[in-house]
Amino acid sequence: MKRSVLAVFALAVFGILFFAFGTVFLDVAEGEARTYVTLFFVLWAAVCISFIVYGLMGLLGRNPPAMTILDVESLSEEGPLAEETDFAAKLEKLEALRRGRLITENEYLQKRSETLGEKW
């Protein structure tokens, strides 16, 4: 897993820009609308502040789980997912050998039971 500095920096910057954008609407609101705009601004500010805090946490290296970025291409072929894929590939290969009549039915059944025994 690796952290994208640009992504967390952008999150903090957009949080600041959105907060400033919201304050403009709060300043412009007049009369009866002022009450509703103020209520909306409270929610707006909370979201903007969370963007800023999450962005700064990411920049400081204290990534919350939601900010973690997986680099799928660099994942090794070992691990639980690779094991399941390898298991399925073994069974598919075995089935193809039987269909192609490269192994006998008895060999297929024996090897299949061995493979299934490995999984469980």
Q: What is the pLDDT of residue 88?
A: 80
89 and 55 both lie in a single domain:
no
Whole-angstrom distance, CA of residue 47 vs CA of residue 45: 5
Which of 25, 49, 67 delimits the end of a domain? 67
Contact 51, 11 (CB under 8 A): yes
Which of 45, 67, 89 delimits the end of a domain? 67
Which pTM value belongs to this model?
0.48
| Residue range 29-69, pLDDT digits in tens | 888 888 999 999 999 999 999 989 888 887 787 655 555 55
| Residue range 72-118, pLDDT digits in tens | 655 555 555 555 567 788 888 989 999 888 899 999 999 988 888 87
Domain containing residue 112 = 76-119
